Amino acid sequence: MLFSRLFRLGTALSLAALAGCTPYLHQHLLATQPARLGAEVTANSMWRGLPAPKTKSVVAVYKFRDQTGQYKPTETGASFSTAVTQGATTILLRALEESGWFEPIERENLGNLLNERKIIRSTREEYAAQTGKKQPALAPLLFAGIILEGGIVSYDSNILTGGAGLRYFGAGASGQYRQDRVTVYLRAISTNSGKIFKTVYTSKTILSQQVDASLFRFVDFKRLLETETGFTYNEPSEMAVKEAIEKAVVALIFEGFAEKLWTPRDSAEYNGLPIQNYFYEKNKNLGIDVLGRETQLRRSSLAVGADASIQQYSGDYAQPLRRPGAEFTLHYQANASTSLFVNVGGLQLAAGLGGASFNQKFGYAEAGLLYRLLPYDRFTPYALLGGGVTGRNQLRGASPLLPHIVVGVGGEMLLTPHLGIIAGIDNHYYLTDQLDQVSTGRYNDSYFSGRAGLVLYLGKTAQEKAYEQMVKASTPVTDKSSNAKGEK
């Protein structure tokens, strides 16, 4: 009795301590955090993957602003705070500078710059008049061959929401999540002709999630234990905008190769790994929907596989036993969701103590249809339906071939684009009651199987074929064009 009370007291104190410490899991105890440099997220890896430019291009950005006009959503409506940052121009200028491909010039607050230059000229003129010493003239302002325009064109909230929870005897946990999305457009314009050279757009999801756990239980007579803990994480929208803008700058650099806007220092970079990775991502993006789900088939049309199984007989003898089996399969993809299959295998069925009542080996061949519920995902549940015949050694008074129907369900997970693992259960139901050579009861003989194995997909997948076509059509050709400064 004493041990039980001590255990309950310890549990209560532990849960209370956990709930009390939750606010400090990601910060220092009772202390503020000092200022630090801004988080870079994935920018450093993107800039390191870029080839070096032959020369930097002078570009101007007048205004890269929020064009959504949307206010931040709340549970009670909308607040007066904007949904996205209003400083996108500053973010874009830094991304251009960090990329190493551009020389951005000040145009957002051009009036301030011109006023300051007027002040400098006026001061120098006064100084020259007082001292008689002529002062040097100010250097001329740089001009840009390309103007970058665009902005944040969309902020979609609650494009995907969900959650789950479980509660049992007063103890439970739950979680919720929400996804928003910000979309950025960026275009390059010639200052010489006004022609729009290229327009690119990128998007970034913004994740918000909440996890909590609670306990409500009577630990003793008139003693109630109640505790709760949890955390909420909201991805900063400013960081999402920053990532989207930086991705747009990278896309504009690679797209500029094909438009001859700028050139890499090494001509081999026209067909180098970075641009191949970019076109691979661009091609892959053609098969991705708005929620980030792929819409191109991951599996090639022809596949072979093998699996091991465990069978349990279900018939007229008592005490069914589990026995091993093996199967080889051939699949042909008829359409996006349906495959034709042919299976050939062998198995053993037994019943009774040590197989004394019934123990026999069989071979079978069958064919049918397999339906994949999620054909575009790496993991997909499946269902199959088919028929075939089971063969056995000739026995006196017994038919050597037994027709059957097979139904089953399972799942398949792709480890690589050409190799997957499968696991499932199925039932073979015979159209006669002669599997065990005993005809009793209302139902025919059958057996259940649980199986797991590997499947190998032969040939190129739809994604690989589309990628090859994309590279042939989109890879830029080496060109000796000059850098776009003023002549474009």
CATH code of residue 399: 2.40.160.20
The sign of the CA dihedral 312, 313, 319, 322 is negative
pLDDT above 90 (res 364): yes
How many CB atoms sit inside 10 A of residue 98's CB?
A: 16
pLDDT of residue 79: 65
Q: What is the pLDDT of residue 6?
A: 52
Please give the pLDDT value at position 467: 61
Of 145 and 355, the structure prediction assigns the larger pLDDT to 145
Please say if the pLDDT value at position 480 is more than 50: no
Q: Do the Cβ atoms of 339 and 368 come closer than 8 Å? A: no
- The tens digit of pLDDT for each residue in 44-60 reads 677 877 888 889 999 99
Q: Write the single-letter amino acid at 310.
A: I
The parent domain of residue 408 ranges over: 302-458
Is residue 367 within 8 Å of 343, Cβ to Cβ?
Answer: yes
Tell me the mean pLDDT in the region 79-98.
85
pLDDT at 479: 44
Question: In the predicted model, what is the mean pLDDT of the chain?
Answer: 83
- Collapsed DSSP state (helix, strand, coil) of residue 462: helix
Lowest mean pLDDT segment, chosen from 275-289, 318-332, 360-374, 416-430: 275-289
Answer whether 253's CB lies under 8 Å from 101's CB. yes
Residue 361 in any domain: the answer is: yes
Dist CA 261 CA 481 (whole Å): 8
Confidence (pLDDT) at 485: 41
Degrees to nearest 5, angle at CA 458 with 454 and 463? 105
What is the per-residue DSSP string for 376-391? TSSEEEEEEEEEEEEE
Any domain includes 117: no
The reported pLDDT for the residue numbered 484 is 41
**pTM of the predicted structure, to 2 decimals:** 0.68
Q: Would you call 347 exposed, middle or buried from its count of C-beta atoms within 10 A (0-12, 13-18, 19+)?
A: buried
Considering its fold, how many domains does the chain have in total?
1
Confidence of residue 483 (pLDDT cuts 50, 70, 90): very low
Q: Is residue 307 part of a domain?
A: yes
Instruction: Examine residue 321 and state whether it is found in any structural domain, yes or no.
Output: yes
Higher pLDDT, 237 or 441: 237
Q: What is the largest CA-CA distance in the chain?
A: 129
- Quick one: what percent of the chain has pLDDT higher than 90? 33
* Average pLDDT, integer, range 33-47: 73
Q: How confident is the model at residue 78 (pLDDT cuts 50, 70, 90)?
A: low
CA distance 109 to 107: 6
- Residues 474-481 have a mean pLDDT of 46
Residue 358 has pLDDT above 70, yes or no: yes
**What would the pLDDT profile of 125-160 be if each residue is shown by its tens digit?**
888 888 888 888 888 888 998 999 999 998 888 888
In a domain, 406, yes or no: yes
Distance between CA atoms of residues 420 and 329, nearest Å:
13
pLDDT of residue 482: 38
pLDDT, tens digit, for every residue of 248-272? 999 999 988 877 888 888 888 888 8
Q: Which is nearest to 257 in space by CA: 246, 272, 245, 242?
A: 272
Strands (E), 171-294: 171-190, 196-220, 223-234
Give the mean model confidence (pLDDT) for residues 432-456: 86
Q: Is the CB of residue 370 less than 8 Å from the CB of residue 411?
A: no
Q: Identify the weakest region by mean pLDDT among 44-53, 59-68, 238-247, 459-468.
A: 459-468
